[in-house]
């Protein structure tokens, strides 16, 4: 996924549902442009917004739907979620 505000702030996300930053949206669009040329047959994403928004950017670019699989979520970090590192 593209950069989130938590990434930019050196915060651990784990399974917190964070949004892409402006830079992250640009990164997702750039990645979608490159990856769409590979003509993916299937796009699967976790349900977390940062991953899903990145995947949807690719799906929109290449005309493929995005399937959601919650098993693709990042590891839950317990009390460390949201903490800086």
Alpha carbon distance 57, 84 (integer Å): 28
Q: Work out the end-to-end distance of the chain between its first and last CA atoms, rounded to an integer number of angstroms.
A: 19
Q: Torsion-angle region of residue 13: left (phi > 0), alpha (psi -120 to 50) or beta? A: alpha
Give catalytic status of residue 1 as yes or no: yes
The one catalytic residue in 1, 5, 26, 33 is 1
Give catalytic status of residue 26 as yes or no: no
The one catalytic residue in 33, 74, 76, 85 is 74
Active site amino acids: 1, 74
């Amino acid at each position: 996924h593209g950069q989130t505000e938590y990434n930019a702030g050196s915060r651990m996300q784990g399974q917190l549902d964070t949004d892409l930053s402006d830079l992250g949206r640009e990164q997702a669009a750039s990645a979608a442009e490159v990856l769409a040329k590979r003509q993916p047959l299937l796009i699967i994403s976790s349900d977390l917004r940062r991953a899903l928004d990145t995947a949807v950017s690719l799906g929109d670019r290449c005309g493929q739907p995005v399937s959601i699989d919650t098993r693709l979520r990042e590891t839950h970090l317990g009390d460390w979620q949201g903490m800086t590192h």
